[in-house]
Amino acid sequence: MTTQVVDTAAPGPRARGRRPRAGARHWYAWAMCAPVVIVTLVLVGYPLARGVYLSLTDATEATMGRTIGMNTIPSTYEFVGLSNYAGIVTSAEFLTRLGWTVTWTVVCVALHYGLGLGLAMLLNRPLRLRSLYRVLLVLPWAVPAFVSAFIWRYLLNGEFGVVNAMLRAAGLGGIDWLDDPLWAKVSVIAVNVWLGVPFMMLALLGGLQAIPRELYEAAEVDGATPWRRFRHITLPGLRPVAGTVVLLGTIWTFNQFPVIYLVTRGGPGGSSEILVTYAYRQAFEGIRDYSGSAAWGVLILALLVVMAVVYRRALRTRGEAW
């Protein structure tokens, strides 16, 4: 539309200097976009491209060149193609970790959504002290994740933790919250649910408030039971919000580093390690394996991209504009 306007200008000797282009006329729009584009390219594009490149080499902390003061280390890393990926995919650990990571993600997101929706519905009705409840329920979200993780680690300490002290006081035996492989998994899921529910609750509360009241009133007049109203008005009305928050929640949970790393350190014996924490350990313990960690990162990214594409397509086939 812009080009048309410019093109109608008669080509004359005076017009030759300035090329009649959209960019020329709307240069300010481009100029205003430019900072964002440049920052995105620098902050996202470059590291991503560099990561992909490194994943195809055998670069480590020892083979990457650098000069520090009087010491000069030459670069000696080489291009190795896809061998990093082959090594990861064929390792026995990969499938075990992937299995637990998927379980962890599905359980956490299901609980986030279920509990978040329940709380959102409670808070969506008029009740006394509603704002106080909201503040309290949002609190876990306001505390930095690492602080929460540390607090939970202390609370769940087998011998000196508060949780076991309470259990013992109630005449029950203590539980090896963090020392038993199964309980450690339960513990990290509990901590992550505690951390993630507020976000779901807030997002779904917003969704609930966007559903027109009239629909409920009309349904009530027609004699619909609360359950039917929930199924046929609330759930469909929430779908646009739910689709997004579930996708976001899945991505976050899949990559939820601090909870696992700080609460159980992936233990005991590596049993609660998810892909990202395992990759971190592989890459950053001892002499850092940059190429290996980049390959892990690209692999995790690829898994999530595939998941997101499939999910979006599924939503779209159900006729939802996302």
Partner 1 sequence: MRRGISAAAVAAALALAVSACGGEESPRRTAAPASDPAAVSGQVTWWDTSDATNEAPVFQEVIKDFTAKYPKIKVDYVNVPFADAQNKFKTAAQSGSGAPDVLRAEVGWVAEFASLGYLAPLDGTPALDKPEEFLPSPAGSGKYAGKTYAVPQVTDTLGLLYNKELLKKAGHDAPPKTFAELKQTALDVKSKAGADGLALNVDAYFLLPFIYGEGGDLLDVAGKKITVAAPPSVAGVKVVEDLIASGAAAKPAIQDSYTNAETAFKEGKVAMIFNGPWSNTDNLGGAVFKDDPDDFGVAPVPAGSAKAGSPTGGHDYAVYAGSGDLDASYLFVRYMASAETQAKIAGKLGLLPTRRPAYTMPEAQANPMIAKWREPMAAAVERPWIPEGGQLFQPLLEGYQKLAAGQRPAGPMLGDVAKAYQGLLKGWSL
Q: Which of residues 104-133 bind partner 1 (CB under 8 A)?
A: none
Residue of 255, 252, 273 lying closest to 263 (CA atoms): 273
* Binding window for partner 1 (CB under 8 A); candidates: 6-14, 58-66, 107-115, 219-227: 58-66
Residue 90 binds partner 1 (CB under 8 A): no
Residue 51 binds partner 1 (CB under 8 A): no
Could you give phi then psi for residue 79, rounded to 5 degrees? -75, 130
- Smallest distance from partner 1 to CB 55, Å: 18
Q: Which of 8, 67, 90, 317 binds partner 1 (CB under 8 A)?
A: 67
Evaluate whether 120 touches 137 at the Cβ level (below 8 Å): no
- Smallest distance from partner 1 to CB 274, Å: 15
Distance CA 87, CA 91 (A): 6
Q: Which of residues 126-165 bind partner 1 (CB under 8 A)?
A: 153, 157-160
- Smallest distance from partner 1 to CB 315, Å: 40
Q: Which of 179, 211, 248, 307 binds partner 1 (CB under 8 A)?
A: 179
CB atoms near residue 191 (< 10 Å): 27
Distance CA 292, CA 279 (A): 8
Distance CA 122, CA 111 (A): 16
On the question of a cis peptide bond just before residue 13, with omega within 30 degrees of 0, the verdict is no
How would you class 211 by CB atoms within 10 Å of its CB: exposed for 0-12, middle for 13-18, buried for 19 or more? middle
Residue 264 binds partner 1 (CB under 8 A): yes
Residue 281 binds partner 1 (CB under 8 A): yes
- Smallest distance from partner 1 to CB 16, Å: 48
Residue 287 binds partner 1 (CB under 8 A): yes
Distance CA 209, CA 24 (A): 45
Contacts with partner 1, residue ranges (CB under 8 A):
61-62, 66-73, 153, 157-160, 176, 178-181, 184, 264-265, 267-270, 281, 284-288
